[in-house]
Amino acid sequence: MKKTKRVLALMLAASMSLGLAACGGGGDTTQSPTGGNNSTPSGGASGDTVELTLWTYPVGTFADNLDATIEAFNKVHPEISITYETIDYQNGDTKVTSAIQGGTTPDLIFEGPERLVGNWGRSGVMVDLSDLWAEDAASDIADGVKNASQLDGKYYMYPLSVTAHSMAINYEVFEAAGALQYIDEETRTWTTDNFVKALEAVKTAIDNGTVNVITPGIVYCGGQGGDQGTRALVNNLYSGYFTNEDGTAYTADSEQNVKALELLQTLVSEGKLDGNTAFVASDELQAFANQTCAMTFCWNYSNYVSYAEQTQFTPYVMAFPSDDGVPELEMGIYGLGIFDNGDQAKIDAAKEFIRFVCNDQTQATECIKQTGFFPVHENFGDVYAGTDEEETKAPFALMSTYTGRFYNLTPGWTEQRTNWWNMLQKIFGGTDVKTAVDEYVSASNANIK
Amino acid sequence: MAQNAVATASKKPKKEKRSQFSGMSKALVRRETISAYLFLLPSLIFFIGFVVLPMIMCLVYSFMDMGLGESGTFAGLSNYVRMFQDPTFIQGFWNTVLIVVVAVPTVTAFSLWVGSAIYQMKPFTRSFFRCIFYLPVVTGTVAVTVVWKWIFNVYYGVLNQVLGTNQNWLGDEKTAIWCIIMILFTTSIGQPIVLYVAALGNVDQSLVEAAQVDGATKLQVFWKIKWPQIMPTTLYILVITTINSFQCFALIQLLTSGGPNGSTNTIMYYIFDMVYRYNDFGYANAMGVILAIIIAIFSAIQFKFAKTDNG
Amino acid sequence: MNQAKSKLSGTSSAYKIVSIIILILLAIFFIFPLYWIVTGSFKDAVAINSREPVWFPTSPTLENYVKLFTRPAGRWLVNTVIMAVGALVLTCLTAALAGYALAKKRFYGRGLLFTIIICAMALPKQVIVIPLLQEMNTLHLADSLWAVILPTVGWPFGVFLMKQFSENIPNEILEAARVDGSGEIRTFFSVVFPMIKPGVGALAIFTFVNSWNDYFLQLIMLTSEKNFTISLGIATMQGEMSSDFGLIMAGASLAAIPIVAVFIAFQKYFTQGIAMGAVKG
Q: Is the pLDDT of residue A40 over 70?
A: no
Contacts of B168 in chain A (CB under 8 A): 276-278
CB contact under 8 A, A278 and B154: yes
Name the pLDDT band for A22 (thresholds 50, 70, 90). Answer: very low
Q: What is the mean pLDDT of chain A?
A: 87
Mean pLDDT of C159-178: 88
Decide if B196 contacts B119 (C-beta within 8 A). Answer: yes
Burial category of B128 from C-beta neighbours within 10 Å (exposed 0-12, middle 13-18, buried 19 and up): middle
Mean pLDDT of B122-147: 85
Q: How far, in Å, are A104, B185, C133, C195 from residue B57 at the CA level? A: 18, 33, 12, 38
Output DSSP code: residue A254.
Answer: S
Q: Which helix (H) or strand (E) holds C230?
A: helix C230-235
Chain B touched by A214 (CB under 8 Å)? yes
How far apart are alpha carbons C270 and B149 in whole angstroms? 35
Decide if C130 contacts B72 (C-beta within 8 A). Answer: no
Mean pLDDT of B293-308: 83
The answer to whether position A5 is within a domain reads: no
**Bridge partners (DSSP) listed for residue A81:** A51
Domain that holds residue A55: 11-164+331-384
Q: Which residue of A has its CA nearest to B175?
A: A278
Predicted pLDDT at C80: 92
Point out the least confidently predicted range of A10-14, A200-204, A216-220: A10-14
DSSP state string for A387-435: STTHHHHHHHHHHGGGB----TTSTTHHHHHHHHHHHHHHHHTT--HHH
Q: What is the CATH number of the domain that holds A133?
A: 3.40.190.10
Write out B232-272 in H/E/C secondary structure: HHHHHHHHHHHHHHHCCCHHHHHHCCCCCCCCCCCHHHHHH
Q: Which residue of A has its CA nearest to C215?
A: A91
Name the pLDDT band for C199 (thresholds 50, 70, 90). Answer: confident
Name the pLDDT band for A47 (thresholds 50, 70, 90). Answer: low
Q: How far, in Å, are A66, A90, A340, B6 from residue A50 at the CA level? A: 18, 31, 15, 73
CB contact under 8 A, A38 and C45: no
CB contact under 8 A, C240 and A89: yes
| The domain made up of C70-280 is a member of CATH 3.30.420.40 | no
Same domain membership, residue A253 and residue A148: no
Length of chain A: 449
CB contact under 8 A, B259 and A422: yes
Predicted pLDDT at A207: 95
Q: Between A31 and C122, name the one with better pLDDT.
A: C122
Predicted pLDDT at A6: 43
Predicted pLDDT at B307: 62
Q: What is the mean pLDDT of chain B?
A: 86
Mean pLDDT of A361-383: 90
Same domain membership, residue A131 and residue A20: yes
Segments making up each domain of chain C, as ranges: 2-40, 70-280
Percent of chain B with pLDDT over 90: 48
Mean pLDDT of C57-64: 89
Chain B touched by C201 (CB under 8 Å)? yes
- Shortest distance between the Cα of B174 and any Cα of chain C, in A, equals 23
Q: Which residue of C has its CA nearest to A104?
A: C137
Predicted pLDDT at B259: 80
What SS3 class is residue A60? coil
Buried b (16+ CB within 10 A) or exposed e, A269-296: eeebbbbbbbbbbbbbbbbbbbbbbbbb
Chain B touched by A119 (CB under 8 Å)? yes
CB contact under 8 A, A104 and C137: yes
Mean pLDDT of B251-257: 89
Output DSSP code: residue A154.
Answer: E
Q: Is the pLDDT of residue B184 over 90?
A: yes
Mean pLDDT of C35-57: 89
Contacts of B154 in chain A (CB under 8 A): 276, 278
* pLDDT tens digits, C220-244: 999 888 899 988 888 887 777 877 8
Q: Which residue of C has its CA nearest to A96?
A: C220
How far apart are alpha carbons B280 and A278 in whole angstroms? 27
Q: Which of residues 103-122 of C touch B (CB under 8 A)?
A: 105-111, 113-122
**Bridge partners (DSSP) listed for residue A339:** A126
Predicted pLDDT at C197: 85
Q: Between A107 and C171, name the one with better pLDDT.
A: A107
Q: How far, in Å, are A56, A336, B142, B257 from residue A89 at the CA level? A: 10, 16, 15, 15
Point out the least confidently predicted range of A106-115, A118-127, B201-210: B201-210
Q: Is the pLDDT of residue C276 over 70?
A: no
Predicted pLDDT at C11: 64
For residue C214, what are the contacts with CB-CB under 8 A and spacing of at least 6? C148, C152
Q: Predicted ipTM?
A: 0.85
The answer to whether position A372 is within a domain reads: yes
Output DSSP code: residue A320.
Answer: P
Decide if C212 contacts C259 (C-beta within 8 A). Answer: yes
Closest to A300 (Cα-Cα) out of A212, A402, A419, A203: A402
What SS3 class is residue A319? coil
Mean pLDDT of A57-61: 87
Q: Between A439 and C265, name the one with better pLDDT.
A: A439
* pLDDT tens digits, A259-302: 999 999 999 999 999 999 999 999 999 999 999 999 999 999 88
Residue type, A279: F
For residue B263, what are the contacts with CB-CB under 8 A and spacing of at least 6? B95, B173, B176, B177
* pLDDT tens digits, B31-74: 888 889 999 999 999 999 999 999 999 999 999 999 888 888 89
Q: Which of residues 233-272 of C touch B (CB under 8 A)?
A: 235, 243, 245, 248-249, 251-252, 255-256, 259-260, 263-264, 267, 270-271
The answer to whether position A104 is within a domain reads: yes
Mean pLDDT of A174-191: 95
B86-310: CATH homologous superfamily?
Answer: MetI-like (1.10.3720.10)
Same domain membership, residue A172 and residue A247: yes
Other Cβ atoms closer than 10 A to A182: 21
CB contact under 8 A, A94 and C219: yes
Same domain membership, residue A434 and residue A311: yes
Mean pLDDT of A1-18: 40
Domain count of the fold of chain A = 2
